[in-house]
Amino acid sequence: MELQKIIDALELQTLTEMEDRTVSGVYISDMLSDVMANAQPDSIWLTVQTHKNIVSAANLVDIAAVVVVHGKTVPPDTIDLANRFHVIILSSPHPSYALAGRLVELGLQP
């Protein structure tokens, strides 16, 4: 599924530079070590974490995009680092559970 389709359907806010990505799954976690061990490439990663090292983790496992949930504010230095490494960061005011339900409805089955 194209990332832009997900962004439009879920009304996600784009915080970084965008590029075309194909999304094949969803991963929900707030622990970077867990993402490093278990997240699949080309996944959308839902998290409340906003520290710069989410870029490091997302980049390592080739996450399609990071969605910061609950309306958490992403600091400028995280966004700057994400742009340097072509990591896409999106934002939503909704919690992970609500977004997960919408993603399943869109066709991203668990």
Partner 1 sequence: MAKETCPHVWAMTHVVPGFIVTEKCSLTGQIVTYMSFEASPPLQQWRDGEHLWNVIETAQSIRFDLVCATCGREVPYDELLGLMLCTGCDEACRVNRLQRQLAPQRTWVYVAYGYRPVEEKKQLTPEKIAILETYFNQRRQSARSQIRIVSHELVSDIGKCYAEVIKDVELTDLQTG
Q: Which residues bind partner 1 (CB under 8 A)?
A: 24, 30-34, 36-37, 41-42, 48-53, 55-57, 59-62, 71-73, 81, 84-86
Scanning the structure block, which residue is given the tokens 């590029």? 19
**Strands of 1-110, DSSP E:** 13-14, 25-28, 43-47, 65-68, 89-91
State in angstroms the smallest separation of the CB of 69 from partner 1.
12
Scanning the structure block, which residue is given the tokens 């990332």? 3
What is the Cα–Cα distance from 94 to 18, expressed in whole angstroms?
21
Measured from the CB atom, is 9 or 77 closer to partner 1? 77
State in angstroms the smallest separation of the CB of 2 from partner 1.
14
State in angstroms the smallest separation of the CB of 75 from partner 1.
8
